[in-house]
Structure 1
Amino acid sequence: MSKTNESSGVEDSNGHGCLPNSTTDSHLPGIPELEKQPQSKDSIFFRDGVRRIDFVLSYVDDPTKDGEKKAERRQEFEMNLQAAGLQLETEDKNESEDGKTYFLKIHSSWDVLTAYAEILKIKVPFKESDIPSNDETPLNWLFKPFKLPHEVMCPEPDYFTSPFENKKPGFFLIEDKDTIFPPSTRNRIVYYILSRCPYATEDGKKKLGINRLLSNGSYTAAFPLHDCQYWMKAKDQQCENDRFTLYRSWARFMCFYKEQPLNLISIMWCVLPANGAPNLRLRRPSSVTLFLEFWKRRQARLEYEWDLVDFEEEEEEQQLQLRPEYETKCTRRKMNPVTQKMEPFLPLRSKCARFCLSGATVMFWIALIIACVIGVIAYRLAVYAALASIMKENQTQNLQLVGSLITPQLATSVTASCLNFVLIMILNTLYERVAIWITDLEIPRTHQEYENRLTMKMFLFQFVNYYSSCFYVAFFKGKFVGYPGNYTYMFGVLRNEECDPGGCLIELSTQLLIVMAGKQIWGNIQEALVPWLKNWWRSRKARNHPESLYTRWEQDHDLQCLGQLGLFYEYLEMVIQFGFITLFVASFPLAPLLALCNNILEVRVDAWKFTTQFRRPVASKAQSIGVWQEILNGVAVLSVVTNAFIVAFTSDMIPRLVYYYAYHPGTENSMEGYINNSLSVFNISHFKPHNMPEDGESPSWFNSSIITSCRYNDYRYPPGHEKEYQHTMQFWHVLAAKMAFIIIMEHVVFMVKFLMAWMIPDVPKDVKARVKREKYLTQEYLRNYEIKMLKKQLGENSSSSTDHHEVLSEVM
């Protein structure tokens, strides 16, 4: 391959970096000029083979007038990147596999890394930990088949760490400047610079950030590199093989029974946003309260292991950092009382107007969901009536056999559930774009505010979208049907649905099974099959030309982009499923088992797609799962209420208990006569004319001279009573018993919940002790280091000064 040059920000008329056929290379001051070496496919270094590629930007030629503007933006942006200390190298389009894509490789020097490590308070090792590991347990041999090798589970030694400071270089363990900051930290620092680097000033407003350049098409992609191919180890000895290790030990389905290498995942990708993704899936089917409490303990342990114990203070400081979009869209400025600096702000009038529009949009879409549910109900009624009429008109022997197996009610329930699922998927797809649009419209101040607002909008919508039909079947269906001779009609035409004689639990279970299974199947298709097909199509030319050098950045460029909301959808999926297995578990006890089976598969599907189908995401830090924790707590509390109502109103447990204790005849079989007691009497001669069967359709027994009454499921006074067809006292006793059961059950469960939350500490005892010891030792080592530096300084100034020795002795 011909040589390419390191970009110095000087571009040709087309807006590209120094052309590859140039005879001289640009050179940065202070950097020794290195000879460019031939590269392998796995290389993650510049052409000199020394400087590591920390980030890659790509772009294509655009001969239009708009393309000239894009070139100007890129030129200024790259010049500003170099002014910030980043080093650039451009791969010409003639060297790319598709012949049209330019790749801009970015390297962060040691000075840049240390400067921004101090700004971002990145923790660096200063001493190897001497705290003994508690991995060995008496039953360790029992769990050995489920364990992964130690080098996979703990790829790095355990260190004591402290936020990096440039003025204390001797305090930290810096054996090799190239490895002290792992690749995840390096790409995080570079992305921090990219997201805040300006590229233009228009109308007095400074435009900045790689995200805006991606959205306006100036660049086509921005991503860090994977360290190697996933199916084989890198031939280049300088390249890591973490991706290959993860693929072998995490992404293969045959590892479904193995533990997950969370430490290696955190080192390669993100520090904690993936915190809940693997573990939450496996532990989610446990009970409400226990799951949440043990999740807090697991989270606390991961916080310690991943060095995030004090990250809350760092997050508070990061709250002062505004989103680039906020800075560019808010032109008015005021004094920040914390920083005492002038910064942009959104006027109250504009903020209120934006929130009103956002709220109205959310309410409109929720109303649309309710309208769709009503439409499905109308479908149920119409189809049930049509199927019943068809089966009545075709009472042949074969149809009678089929009818005995597939009743109109069952067929209606299944088809309506499928229709409801299709509507759910369509509304989800549409609302996703609407939610992002209205969140952008609100112009949140910080990234955390943006994520929290989007999270609440998406969860609220999906909560209503997924659960509304289930709530209808559980709490409304069959409750407002009236009684013979006085039925309730929807729209004055269709008679309201009734439950089966045994209740609506079977139909609710059918609804949950179809929605849950359909969501999981559709989710796996979207998460795995669609990215695989897209990647297969994008890399087809490379497969047709095996002789071409398909470089690491080109391979990663052809993969799918996870995006800023990649993990957001993972969490949303988990929370929605958590709702399914907690809100309606009383009606569908198999839901947790189905969720467990799905999640065992889902963990490996996610691992496979992250290691093989997606670009390496930009590393980020978080101390917890954030607002999702509060949502899980809210769903857990709501599940107590919903299950109490399901047991009370959807099943016949309470009516049976009331009959057993208050109305049974006192015989040896105390439930004798229950069915007869639960049925009311109606005189068929009281049917109104428009409710009478049509001529020729009456059954033989429908004759007042033969049978004068019929029975129906309700508690009403019989005909001839002074309160004819009104509810009996037993109805009110049953209703009171149902309400009492709900209140008692809620109070008992909440008491148990809070008792367990009090008894189970959020932070394990051994983790709390290790955190305290690490803080103590950190302070001791830091104090000793300061004394050592003071000794050195005093010794350099005057080794024989008595006053200095007195001061030093006092300090010590």
Structure 2
Amino acid sequence: MGDPDVLEMVQEEERRAGSEERFFEDLSSRESSFLISEEPRSAKRYNLFLRRRLMFKKDEQSKDSIFFRDGIRQIDFVLSYVDDIKKEAELKAERRKEFEQNLRKIGLELEIEDKMNSEDGKTYFVKIHAPWEVLVTYAEVLGIKMPIKESDIPRADKIPFSCMLGPLKLPRNVKHPHAEYFTAQFTRHRQELFLIEDESSFFPSSSRNRIVYYILSRCPFGIEDGKKRFGIERLLNSHTYSSAFPLHDGQYWKPSEPPNPVNERYTLCQNWARFSYFYKEQPFNLIRDYYGEKVGIYFVFLGFYTEMLFFAAIVGLACFIYGLLSMHDNSSSTEICDPEIGGQIIMCPLCDVMCDYWRLNSTCLASKFSHLFDNESTVFFAIFMGIWVTLFLEFWKQRQARLEYEWDLVDFEEEQQQLQLRPEFEAMCTHRKINAVTKEMEPYLPLCSRIPWYFLSGATVTLWMSLVIACMVAVIVYRLSVFATFASFMESEASLKHVRSFLTPQITTSLTGSCLNFIVILILNFFYERISAWITKMEIPRTHQEYESSLTLKMFLFQFVNFYSSCFYVAFFKGKFVGYPGKYTYLFNVWRSEECDPGGCLVELTTQLTIIMTGKQVFGNIKEAIYPFVLNWWRRRKARTNSEKLYSRWEQDHDLETFGSLGLFYEYLETVIQFGFVTLFVASFPLAPLLALLNNIIEIRVDAWKLTTQYRRPVAAKAHSIGVWQDILYGMAVLSVATNAFIVAFTSDMIPRLVYYYAYSKNAIQPMRGYVNNSLSIFLIADFPNHTVPSEKRDFTTCRYRDYRNPPDHEDKYFHSMQYWHVLAAKMTFIIIMEHVVFLMKFLLAWMIPDVPKDVVERIKREKLMTVKILHDFELNKLKENLRMNSSDFAKHLIIQENKVHLAKSAT
């Protein structure tokens, strides 16, 4: 860059490019006017002239080049647009012209590629380069930290048994692509302090595109309706520009060739975005350097969550294996399957009129399957998961603190997130007031202007959550409607002949209802996503952090109700308010309330949880992998109409899918909803952590693959934490203790078995023998009301049903027996004890584990001390140099004055 010949060439190229751009703009406007006035011959003549004019040096330009035509100035950002022949064409052209003029005034350098050079022959590309003076100015504005000295603190990479984890490790140059440095906020007036070897590579590409986007988001493009309009987002929303994106630094399938810089995209694809590397650690520093801290911290969180799931999955799998091995020793299922016990117990009909009596042993297989998830290990696993979730959140706080230090994010929130205003907020504000922090005038929106939108927002969220509840009730009505049909042909004469089947009416109805509920969930979620984003924009949040927090609250509340409402219904409501054969409860006085299987509702909760959780994860991965791949293939197929044209780097990226500002938001939301399935209902399904672990191993590589190969490069952004999601995780962790305690107490059959074992068993050798008969009450068939009695007449006098009620010969017949109150008291006692034990252990662990590790605290102190020392030495040396310069100038001044006096005397 210091060669005079090169500088002269660059200056000449800039002058030529500027004249060409003005020529192209004038020619494009003339071409548009010809198209509008429908003069095909003139348009054809100008197109031919333009095509020939723009073919200069085309053979010298590589399709992988990320530079201007001079091969020196790197492209930091690209805008694209298509000529619009509608009424707003002139307005859009005027906006673009003024916007680009203002960008040049700020100092950015632009180069325009005409549409005739593009593959589709329609798209213009505006390439943007930020020169050194612009970069240093806005690096200071944004408070970007840059290296001042190589760090003398050794890396904290040594972990126990690291030699055994060798196959999981990445090469050192991939894991740590750069040395560690002491850093300080960049200042133009202290450039000598920073380690600037090459101005073109001093700022990483992620910082460069972040700076350029900051300028684009605040650059004005005119005054409309008496208000100053600015920001690239407004131009994109009005379709003045069709896209705005930073370039990938090369192809993902091959390394770049000189003079292009090192292809970090290729390195990421080879060491991160490959499914064969599913067992490898992730190159977090390289992800951060290429995509920015906000994307990097998401993958750190997802990787840490997946590592912690490994321990929960092992314990859950062990509990499942225990249930599998003890299945044949389970006394309850043995009695149910025994022809002499379960085969002789006649159960009351499952629905009115249409349903027949049935024998208990027809649910033999279902009772064995229930034991897999409802056994002695259920309580242990519920308590373990309460401790696990505490350890996960506490260790994540430590990991996050370490990350803040390593990525120079300490005190970032005060510097960035709270002070940067959204361009949309600035554009909508007509009032101004003094900021209490900066003491400067800034835009201000009165609360009275926001209140109507807040009311609309709250009403919309409430309406959609009510709609979810209504849909769940509709699914319940479906289950009640088809239950009688299933029961009528599944529990017919065959059931009275000891035929055993896993597909009981309850299980069959639960399977079909769960699938239907999952489809309804996806449909509601599709529409609500768009409505919530629109409403959040209308609230006009002040900062990007406020915008994301508001949208997060809306989306999470809705999805919490959407995904979990059916599970809460099965766990805590189904089968709890059924009544008894002589006096059933009815929904809307039409449909009889659903009953649980004789083994309890835990199997149905497991089924519901498995279908929704697995279906969501499979659907999500297919959508994330196939959807962008198909769209990109179709977009490239449509764009490449002129195969003889150069398919340039910016055109290749233009044809990729857009990641969007909310791309990470949906990734976090997906992970948090999965976290809810793993924690809230894990007592009913110990394999949930294993399913989540397998999904996340695939999810990490799918996200890496699509981000590296199928999406445009997102604009780099900083973030020091996972934000509001951390508070949501803490809330779900607390709620999970209560839900699992209630599941064990009221949904599982564990407490009734324990009460029978200790209080009602009369067999000292086999204490659980007789439990099934004890858990079923007796009903006199003659007491059936006429409108509920089965149509088939049987010679039975009594039938059994699941409840603790007095027999027909008791003076308080069909009232709850004393055993019912004993069981209820035991359930409440268990809930209180379990919650107190788990919460006590959570608080102890949270108190014992520090939020910031001791070594990180020491490193932060060391870096602050060294930074202050380096800055002090720099200022001191600069002061000494100034004093030396000033003393030298003063001595020269005295000599000059003495010479003048001497000359005056000589002349006299």
Same fold (TM over 0.5): yes
Give the CA deviation at 1:688: 1.4
Give the CA deviation at 1:523: 0.6
Partner of 1:807: none
Q: 1:401 to 1:416 in 2, by over 3 A?
A: farther
1:482-523, Cα deviation, whole Å (9 max, x unpaired)? 001101111212111111111111111111111111111111
Partner of 1:779: 868
Partners of 1:446 and 1:489 in 2: CA distance = 51
Q: 1:320 to 1:800 in 2, by over 3 A?
A: closer
Question: In the alignment, which of 722, 734, 745 is matched to residue 637 of structure 1?
Answer: 734
Partners of 2:825 and 2:122 in 1: CA distance = 75
Say if 2:208 is the partner of 1:194.
Answer: no
Q: 1:131 to 1:331 in 2, by over 3 A?
A: same
Say if 2:611 is the partner of 1:530.
Answer: no
1:34-56, Cα deviation, whole Å (9 max, x unpaired)? x9992111110000001010000
Q: 1:233 to 1:273 in 2, by over 3 A?
A: closer
Partner of 2:582: 485
Alignment of 1:301-312 (within 5 A): 301-312=402-413
The amino acid across from 2:718 in the alignment is K
Partners of 2:308 and 2:642 in 1: CA distance = 46
Aligned residues: 780
Q: 1:481 to 1:247 in 2, by over 3 A?
A: same
Partner of 1:576: 673
Alignment of 1:279-678 (within 5 A): 279-283=303-307, 285=309, 286=312, 287-315=388-416, 318-391=417-490, 404-540=501-637, 547-665=644-762, 667-678=764-775
Q: 1:400 to 1:693 in 2, by over 3 A?
A: closer
Partner of 1:260: 282
Partner of 1:12: 26
The amino acid across from 2:612 in the alignment is V
SS at match of 1:349: helix
Partner of 1:107: 129
SS at match of 2:223: strand
Give the CA deviation at 1:333: 3.5
8 Å contact kept, 1:198–1:207? yes
The amino acid across from 1:753 in the alignment is K
Q: 1:151 to 1:134 in 2, by over 3 A?
A: same
The amino acid across from 1:303 in the alignment is E
1:317-336, Cα deviation, whole Å (9 max, x unpaired)? x4233211112223234444
8 Å contact kept, 2:21–2:112? no
Give the CA deviation at 1:407: 3.1
Partners of 1:691 and 1:438 in 2: CA distance = 50
Give the CA deviation at 1:472: 0.6
1:268-290, Cα deviation, whole Å (9 max, x unpaired)? 11223431334145235242111
Alignment of 1:57-76 (within 5 A): 57-76=79-98
Partner of 1:806: none
Partners of 1:154 and 1:290 in 2: CA distance = 28
1:377-431, Cα deviation, whole Å (9 max, x unpaired)? 11111111112234468x799x999983533332211111110000000000000
Give the CA deviation at 1:671: 2.7
Alignment of 1:205-224 (within 5 A): 205-224=227-246
Question: In the alignment, which of 198, 211, 217 is matched to residue 176 of structure 1?
Answer: 198
Partners of 1:80 and 1:256 in 2: CA distance = 47
SS at match of 1:586: helix
Q: Using the TM superposition, name which of 645-654 and 685-694 deviates more.
A: 685-694
8 Å contact kept, 2:429–2:444? yes
Give the CA deviation at 1:9: 7.1
Partners of 1:212 and 1:403 in 2: CA distance = 66
Q: 1:343 to 1:773 in 2, by over 3 A?
A: closer
Partners of 2:836 and 2:298 in 1: CA distance = 30
The amino acid across from 1:48 in the alignment is D
Question: In the alignment, which of 771, 786, 793 is matched to residue 698 of structure 1?
Answer: 793
8 Å contact kept, 2:681–2:740? yes
Partner of 1:810: none
Question: In the alignment, which of 832, 850, 854 is matched to residue 765 of structure 1?
Answer: 854
Partners of 1:324 and 1:544 in 2: CA distance = 38
Give the CA deviation at 1:801: 9.4
Partners of 1:344 and 1:44 in 2: CA distance = 38
Q: 1:181 to 1:768 in 2, by over 3 A?
A: same
Give the CA deviation at 1:134: 3.4
Q: 1:16 to 1:488 in 2, by over 3 A?
A: farther
8 Å contact kept, 1:421–1:518? yes
Give the CA deviation at 1:196: 0.6
**Percent of aligned positions that are identical:** 63
SS at match of 1:265: helix
Q: Using the TM superposition, name which of 332-341 and 234-243 deviates more.
A: 332-341
Q: 1:674 to 1:541 in 2, by over 3 A?
A: closer
SS at match of 1:632: helix
Partners of 1:576 and 1:354 in 2: CA distance = 27
Partner of 1:271: 293
Partners of 2:162 and 2:447 in 1: CA distance = 60
Q: Using the TM superposition, name which of 410-419 and 133-142 deviates more.
A: 133-142
Q: Using the TM superposition, name which of 447-456 and 285-294 deviates more.
A: 285-294
8 Å contact kept, 2:777–2:801? yes
Partner of 1:808: none
Q: 1:684 to 1:428 in 2, by over 3 A?
A: same
The amino acid across from 1:283 in the alignment is E
The amino acid across from 2:599 in the alignment is G
Say if 2:265 is the partner of 1:243.
Answer: yes
SS at match of 2:850: coil
1:615-638, Cα deviation, whole Å (9 max, x unpaired)? 000000011001011011111111
SS at match of 2:683: coil
8 Å contact kept, 2:120–2:641? no
Give the CA deviation at 1:212: 0.7
Partners of 1:731 and 1:76 in 2: CA distance = 80
Partner of 1:146: 168
SS at match of 2:26: coil
Partners of 2:166 and 2:30 in 1: CA distance = 56
The amino acid across from 1:209 in the alignment is G
Give the CA deviation at 1:22: 8.7
Q: 1:154 to 1:326 in 2, by over 3 A?
A: same
Partners of 1:600 and 1:753 in 2: CA distance = 28
Say if 2:733 is the partner of 1:733.
Answer: no
Q: 1:572 to 1:149 in 2, by over 3 A?
A: same
Say if 2:99 is the partner of 1:77.
Answer: yes
The amino acid across from 2:874 in the alignment is Y
Alignment of 1:712-731 (within 5 A): 712-731=801-820
Give the unaligned 5+ runs of structure 2.
1-12, 33-45, 313-387, 892-908
SS at match of 1:680: strand
Quick check: which one's helix share is greater?
2
Partners of 2:420 and 2:704 in 1: CA distance = 33
Give the CA deviation at 1:347: 2.8
SS at match of 2:199: coil
Partners of 1:478 and 1:648 in 2: CA distance = 14
Alignment of 1:28-67 (within 5 A): 38-67=60-89
Q: Using the TM superposition, name which of 117-126 and 199-208 deviates more.
A: 199-208
SS at match of 2:858: helix
8 Å contact kept, 2:521–2:563? yes
TM-score by length of 2: 0.82
Partners of 1:259 and 1:299 in 2: CA distance = 17
Give the CA deviation at 1:776: 0.8
